[in-house]
Structure 1
Amino acid sequence: MGKQKQLLKRYIPGLDGLRAISVLAVIAYHFNLKWAKGGLLGVEVFFVLSGYLITDQLLWELKTQRKISFLHFWIRRIRRLLPAMVSMLLVVALGLILIDPSRMQTLRGDFLSSVFYVNNWYLIFHQVSYFESFGSPSPIGHLWSLSIEEQFYVVWPLLLFFLVRLLGRRGRLAVFILSGAAVSAIAMALLYEPGTDPSRVYYGTDTRAFAILIGAALAVVWPSWRLTDRISSGARLLLDLLGAVAMLILFIMMNRTNEYDSSLYPVGFLFLSVVTAVIIAVLVHPASQLGSILAAKPLRWIGKRSYSLYIWHYPVIILSSPAANVGEPGFVDILLQLTLIFMLSALSYRFVEEPIRRGRSWWTRSKELNKSTL
């Protein structure tokens, strides 16, 4: 049991590197940078990664404890995600009330639906486009993706527990999960109408679930706690070769794809999800050299703060950009906005995310530090 616990706590820094690349791509996309037309694909990477990590964690708990502590899992998720997002929402709401109260009134539904993690369906119901903005865009329009992930966190532990008991073998479980992913991917392909605004299929939990489920299926057949670095040199080479090719494909898609690409919704997102799964499979393997490359200290720093960077970047960009600015912003503007984004994200991570996740307030930590210096 001691050895198993040690494996469970194995930190995989390469995944932080992947998070960093993904969140930087999303930020570049929202800056309208020409070389990051497909930066929105970073969200898809996060979906696959979430599906893998959560399923990997739940399966480990089932293996070692023969059960899943649902309440404990949901409390951890709430403490990890909700406080930082609510802090951002309060700051944005206060700013709008002081600067533009009428705009705050029109965004009340956006705020409320975001707190309860149903923002994506709220946007679908009200036919709000993610890509075509009529008037000033919502500074919290990016929170739809967090709603999808939280909906997954609520349902998946219960469903996974039931499926494990029903299907037993890992092979059967993986096939069943991939079948669900296929249904979701087919739904995206059928609901997408070429030449029209793709926001419905872009926002939908039903049409985006395949990415999370592909990550979940990978966790079933490739659990991080079963992997060992005792493999042949040929296998190591093949592992990193696959990872390098998959990373190259990811970069090419982020550079050349755009939100209206005719191939993106029928097959593009699905293809990217598979590519991301390959990258994750390589990064979580202890023998991976690619994992060591993506574990570079700057990437780790950004990756650990990727959640804060994601929730803060969009309101900063929207609220600090001229309303008429629809093109690529100037270098100085980007530099100033990036500075503010990183400052707010670092503060959120330091004083909100980490203390609450670890169950300690920032002032408690300050007292402990003061005592240690006496």
Structure 2
Amino acid sequence: MTARVGAWDALRGAAIALVMLRHAWPDVFPGAGVVGVVMFFALSGHLITGLLVDEAQETGRVDLRGFWWRRLRRLVPALVVLVVGFVVVTLTLDPLGDVDTLGRSVAVSLTYTANVPSVGLVGVSPAIYHLWTLATEEQFYLVWPLVVVLAVRAGRLRTGVALAGLVAALLCVVTVVWFRADPDAAYPLATSWLGCFVVGAASRVLQDRWPRPATGPAAVAAAVALLAVLSVVDLRGHAATYLLAGPAVAVATVVLVQAGRRHVTLRPAWRPLVALGTVSYGAYLWNYPLTLWLRPTLDDATGLVAVPATLLAAAASWWLVERPVQRAGRRPRAPAGVTAGR
């Protein structure tokens, strides 16, 4: 199966760092949130496709129910803890003055519908706005395995991914045209970002044919430079964000992913970023609500407190919730060459 690669954890760390910078200092890093989120989308496309393809090659089939159960086990427990914390803070302190939206906010959070038009980010607390990305991820996890299974059965995996890319591009164009009067309204919609997942998926399917110069120092430097520049550009409210900037960030990310295949472990200097990547899910869950809850009191100093508070919450989420649940659900691997029973 796909190995855990240190460089990919570092990429996760970079992605969540950009998201936190955007939340803490939006005037300085206006585009960092978009860049970080798209990096996560492209990484998910690459890694999830790898898991599915590897399983199909090793066992001759894909256990869809097993895949979906593992995704739920990985993501839901930490989300439930966040929702419990959100309920406690809202009922006791109500820092945003939106206790009347509590019930709907909880329902939207736990049903992964924050990105559904007229359902998600309507009448809910701003503290859960960021969960639109998790809804988008979960919907990708629900649909994409079916695409991969059908393509593998037909013996046309690359063709299937290419067709998915065309569909994703068409859906993005339709979305942009539909919301041309208010491009920012398309921001939380899955159809605005589906292509970024497919870029990641394509990089996994084509990794054996990936041109070596595209993983060299010049390509890596160009990818990093693009991500850095877009992080300080205001990307919200522009159709070009969905049509150009998002796909460009996804391509830059997969360049770094392919380069990272050669670095399963990294030099000690990269360990803080790798550690941040390890706890990136908890950090993403907690950073936005913590930032919003602290801002009315701390104003411009919010980031100085929200960032360390996020790191503490993320560490607690990893060590007390995510890691124990993963370990409890892990089954012994079969010896090499033996197909594990399903």
Q: Normalising to structure 2: TM-score of the pair? A: 0.86
User: Is 2:102 the partner of 1:114?
Assistant: no
Corresponding residue for 1:264? 241
Distance in 2, matches of 1:283 and 1:19, equals 12
Given candidates 153, 158, 162, the residue that maps to 1:175 is: 162
**CA RMSD, aligned part only?**
2.9
- Aligned residue number for residue 303 of structure 1: 277
Secondary structure of 1:259's aligned partner: coil
Give the Cα–Cα distance (whole angstroms) in 2 for the partners of residues 258 and 126 of structure 1.
24
Q: Provide Cα deviations, 1:286-323, integer angstroms capped at 9, x if missing partner.
A: 2x69x846981000100000000000101111112218
Letter in 2 for 1:315: P
Q: What is the CA distance between 1:147 and its match in structure 2?
A: 0.4
Which residue, out of 176, 180, 205, partners 2:190?
A: 205
Structure 2 match to 1:313: 287
Equivalent of 1:38 in 28, 31, 35: 31
Q: Secondary structure at the match of 2:126?
A: coil
CA distance in 1, matches of 2:310, 2:48: 27
Aligned-residue sequence identity (percent) comes to 26
Compared with structure 1, are the counterparts of its residues 217 and 279 closer, same or farther at alpha carbon in structure 2 (3 Å cutoff)? same
How far apart, CA to CA, are the structure 2 residues paired with 1:237 and 1:141? 36
**1:29 corresponds to:** 22
Q: Is the 8 A contact 1:20 1:303 kept in 2?
A: yes
Letter in 2 for 1:141: Y
**Residues 180 and 213, structure 1, Cα contact 8 Å, conserved in 2:** no
Alpha-carbon offset, residue 256 of structure 1: 2.2
1:96 and 1:152, CA in 2 relative to 1: closer, same or farther beyond 3 A?
same
1:295 and 1:210 map into 2 onto residues whose CA distance is 33
- 1:364 corresponds to: none
Maintained 8 Å contact 1:188/1:208: no
Partner SS, residue 216 of structure 2: helix
Tell whether the 8 Å contact from 2:2 to 2:51 is kept in structure 1 after alignment.
no
- Cα distance change of structure 1 residues 152 and 126 upon mapping to structure 2, 3 Å threshold: closer
Q: What SS is found at the alignment partner of 1:213? A: helix
Taking the aligned partners of 2:276 and 2:114, their CA distance within structure 1 comes to 26
One-letter code aligned to 2:241: L
Q: Distance in 2 between matches of 1:272 and 1:294?
A: 27
**Conservation of the 8 A alpha-carbon contact between 2:114 and 2:121:** no
Q: Over alpha carbons, which structure has the higher Rg?
A: 1
- Note closer, same or farther for the CA distance 1:172–1:52 as it changes in structure 2 (3 Å cut): same
Following the alignment from structure 2 to structure 1, what is the Cα–Cα distance between the partners of residues 2 and 269?
17
Query: Which residue matches 1:191?
Result: 178
Deviations 1:349-369 (A, max 9, x none): 0000000011179xxxxxxxx
Residue 89, structure 1, aligned to residue 63, structure 2: no
Q: Which whole-Å CA distance do the structure 2 matches of 1:170 and 1:32 have between them?
A: 42
Q: What runs of 5+ residues in structure 1 fail to find an aligned partner?
A: 1-7, 362-374
Deviation at 1:264, TM superposition (A): 1.8
The residue aligned with 1:67 is: 61
- The aligned residue for residue 341 of structure 1 is 310
Alpha-carbon displacement from aligned partner over 1:34-86 (angstroms, at most 9, x marks no partner): 33111122111111110110001100000010001112111111111000011
Q: TM-score, normalised by structure 1?
A: 0.79
- Render the CA deviation track for 1:194-241: whole Å, top value 9, x for unaligned: 6x3512x21111222111111112211116xx99xxx9xxx4796232
Would the aligned equivalents of 2:215 and 2:258 in 1 still touch at CA under 8 Å? no
CA drift at 1:9: 5.4
CA contact (8 A) 1:13 1:294 kept: no
Q: Which structure 2 segments of 5+ residues have no match? A: 331-342
Tell me: CA distance 1:120–1:301, structure 2 relative to 1, closer, same or farther (3 Å): same
CA contact (8 A) 2:148 2:157 kept: no
Does the C-alpha gap of structure 1 residues 193 and 98 become closer, same or farther in structure 2, counting only changes over 3 Å? Answer: same
Superposed displacement of residue 16, structure 1: 0.9
Secondary structure of residue in 2 paired with 1:29: helix
2:153 aligns with: 165
Q: 1:137 to 1:106 in 2, by over 3 A?
A: closer
Structure 2 partner of 1:372: none
Report the counterpart of residue 280 of structure 1 in structure 2: 257
Do the aligned residues in 2 keep the contact of 1:58 with 1:68 (CA within 8 Å)?
A: yes
The Cα shift of 1:178 comes to: 2.1
Distance in 2 (alpha carbons) for counterparts of 1:209 and 1:346: 30
Alignment match of 1:250 (pick from 221, 227, 230):
227
1:155/1:171 Cα in 2 relative to 1: closer, same or farther (>3 Å)? closer
Counting matched residue pairs gives: 328
Give the match for residue 352 of structure 1. Answer: 321
* 2:333 aligned residue: none
